[in-house]
Structure 1
């Protein structure tokens, strides 16, 4: 048994030929760039690319397997060197039960089964070549199709105000939309952590995932998990989510929720935080607000103490959030310590001081111990680290 670093929510901006996939993602975010960044710079062992339903991506994977550049594993997943690619598709769901849009992550074991899923989606989706498109089918029917293909179904960033399971406040329970038995895990999103999500008793039966939702190369592994498995494959990941025979999520690594874009409730117009007991912005008198994840969870919570023991959720500040670390400094750090996992987890204070100086090195060490101060994010704006 071995522990592996895993990030299961990474987008593609373009195909190899330059065609758009995720419109809001970086043009540099190709499948090749994802694997290179994850393998050599981030230090990940497993990546989930959630735009693999795109036909050109599937053709590229087929060709690379045929030439031996990539290897398809017997237990699922595609191997390049020492990194495993898990094939995924992020979809958008709307049906009569949803009262809004919900994003979900569908992971498929093999390239050929993903081809089958892509064909199924193309009959229920206006443009299968683009990321996160609306599927015109009942949510439970989609779950059944994913499981018919021996896949995994995971609701995405479940607390964010827009396009999520618990969304804007209409949905009170996952059973209003999904078959609970056909959910394999829950993705928390950047503005929530285990202690917050654990207050919903209906989530007690699911593993929690913390993924980056990367729209650019640099954002890969801003959130991830350490997963204990026999090997980095699709089937081992499935067993780890069910905690079978010692396999499990060992730890989640993610932003302090205050750094997320939707942690606190803010004015829709000027982003001023809503004061308790007020229904109007104290700065501009506007009356519309974007509800924060922290307030939404307060509405939904039905217990104070989690109903099951959870692995530790380690609040980690991505290096590019830390004042004093820009692209040149980050490149210098990688030159000394190798990958970002090495910088975040292994480099000691004295080693960091030699490269960064005492002030910035102290911020990294403080981030590890949860001692940094933040200005909370909200309304689509990330929080910030205070360097005072």
Structure 2
């Protein structure tokens, strides 16, 4: 057994031919750039690219294998250097049972099965080439198709106010839309963590994942997890999600929820945060233009004072490029010294950091990776802020 680092929610901005996949994604967020960044800069052992249903992306994966730059693994996934790619697809569901659109992550074990999945989705989507497209079938039908292909099904960023399971998709329970037995994990998303949801009994059976939802190369591993597996492949990921045969997610690494864009309730008209519960109208300007914060929504869904579910630690950790005073030149110096960002965050001691960069910056990074920097909460689509050190 070994412990690996995984980020399972990464978008593709463009194909090598220039076709848009994730419209809001960076143009240099290509398959080749993601793989190279993940393995040589970030130090990720397992990544999920969730736009692999796009036909041109499938072609690029097959071309890498044809050129012997990558290999498909017997137990699922595609190995590129030190990093394994898990083929995934982010899909939007908005059927008659939903109160708002819901994004879900579907992971498929092999290229051939992903081709089958892509062809199946052509009949249910308007544009198979784009990311996060609305699928014109109900949630349970999609779940059944993923299970038929021996895949994995995980609701995405489940508490964000827009396009998520609990944000608007359901009133109270995931069973309003999905078959609970066909869910393989829950992606918490920004603005939430394990402690916040410990009173939601419905989530007790599921492992939690924390992922970047990266729309640019720099955001890879903004959030991630450490997983105990025998190897980095699809079947080992499945076992870890279901805590089988000693495999498990052993730690989640994510932003302090205060740094998320939707932690607090905010009035979009005047921009003020509304910290007290019970308001349907802004107490400052009187308008009904409130974006409900994740913290408030979770309080609404909490139905038990405490869950006796053993969870791995959720470690509040601030990414290097979020830290005040840490610019690209400083990060490059550390990469030259320590190899990858995972090594900087998990292996380099404070004394070793001081040898590579100025002492004040080294101390700041050490506080950031321990989650000990002061933070002002975010909301209404605006990230929280790290207070000056």
The answer for unaligned runs of 5 or more in structure 1 is none
Equivalent-residue separation in structure 2 for 1:264 and 1:182 (angstroms): 32
Q: Does 1:325 align with 2:326?
A: yes
Equivalent-residue separation in structure 2 for 1:249 and 1:197 (angstroms): 17
Residues 1:169 and 1:231: Cα distance change in structure 2 (over 3 Å): closer
CA contact (8 A) 2:12 2:22 kept: yes
Equivalent-residue separation in structure 1 for 2:153 and 2:275 (angstroms): 38
TM-score (norm 1): 0.97
Number of aligned positions between the proteins:
388
Q: Does 1:219 align with 2:219?
A: yes
CA contact (8 A) 1:195 1:306 kept: no
Q: Does 1:195 align with 2:211?
A: no
Counterpart position of 2:14? 14
Alpha-carbon displacement from aligned partner over 1:140-192 (angstroms, at most 9, x marks no partner):
00000000000000000000000000013852100000000000000000111
CA contact (8 A) 1:201 1:307 kept: no
Equivalent-residue separation in structure 2 for 1:357 and 1:371 (angstroms): 19
Q: Does 1:312 align with 2:313?
A: yes
Q: Does 1:372 align with 2:378?
A: no
Residues 1:236 and 1:15: Cα distance change in structure 2 (over 3 Å): same
Counterpart position of 2:38? 38
TM-score (norm 2): 0.97
In structure 2, the residue corresponding to 1:167 is in which secondary structure? Answer: helix
Equivalent-residue separation in structure 2 for 1:81 and 1:127 (angstroms): 32
CA contact (8 A) 2:333 2:357 kept: no
Q: Deviation of residue 118 (structure 1)?
A: 0.1
Deviates more, 1:126-135 or 1:193-202: 193-202
Residues 1:286 and 1:108: Cα distance change in structure 2 (over 3 Å): same
Deviates more, 1:269-278 or 1:225-234: 269-278
Counterpart position of 1:109? 109
In structure 1, the residue corresponding to 2:167 is in which secondary structure? Answer: coil
Residues 1:278 and 1:76: Cα distance change in structure 2 (over 3 Å): closer
Q: Deviation of residue 20 (structure 1)?
A: 0.3
Counterpart position of 2:298? 297
Counterpart position of 1:123? 123
Counterpart position of 1:358? 359
Equivalent-residue separation in structure 2 for 1:344 and 1:149 (angstroms): 37
The answer for unaligned runs of 5 or more in structure 2 is none
Q: Deviation of residue 368 (structure 1)?
A: 3.0
CA contact (8 A) 1:321 1:384 kept: no
In structure 1, the residue corresponding to 2:362 is in which secondary structure? Answer: helix
Q: Deviation of residue 283 (structure 1)?
A: 4.8
CA contact (8 A) 1:169 1:296 kept: no
Q: Deviation of residue 373 (structure 1)?
A: 0.8
Counterpart position of 1:141? 141
Counterpart position of 1:288? 289
Q: Does 1:262 align with 2:256?
A: no
Q: Deviation of residue 43 (structure 1)?
A: 0.5
Equivalent-residue separation in structure 2 for 1:60 and 1:271 (angstroms): 44
Counterpart position of 1:250? 250
CA contact (8 A) 2:102 2:169 kept: no
Counterpart position of 2:73? 73
Alpha-carbon displacement from aligned partner over 1:40-98 (angstroms, at most 9, x marks no partner):
11010000000000001111212222332210000000011111000000000011111
Equivalent-residue separation in structure 2 for 1:81 and 1:52 (angstroms): 19
Equivalent-residue separation in structure 1 for 2:94 and 2:168 (angstroms): 14
Equivalent-residue separation in structure 2 for 1:273 and 1:358 (angstroms): 36
In structure 2, the residue corresponding to 1:253 is in which secondary structure? Answer: strand
Alpha-carbon displacement from aligned partner over 1:15-58 (angstroms, at most 9, x marks no partner):
01111000000000000000011101101000000000000111
Q: Deviation of residue 288 (structure 1)?
A: 1.6
CA contact (8 A) 2:264 2:275 kept: no
Equivalent-residue separation in structure 2 for 1:98 and 1:273 (angstroms): 28
Residues 1:19 and 1:169: Cα distance change in structure 2 (over 3 Å): closer
In structure 1, the residue corresponding to 2:274 is in which secondary structure? Answer: coil
CA contact (8 A) 2:318 2:371 kept: no
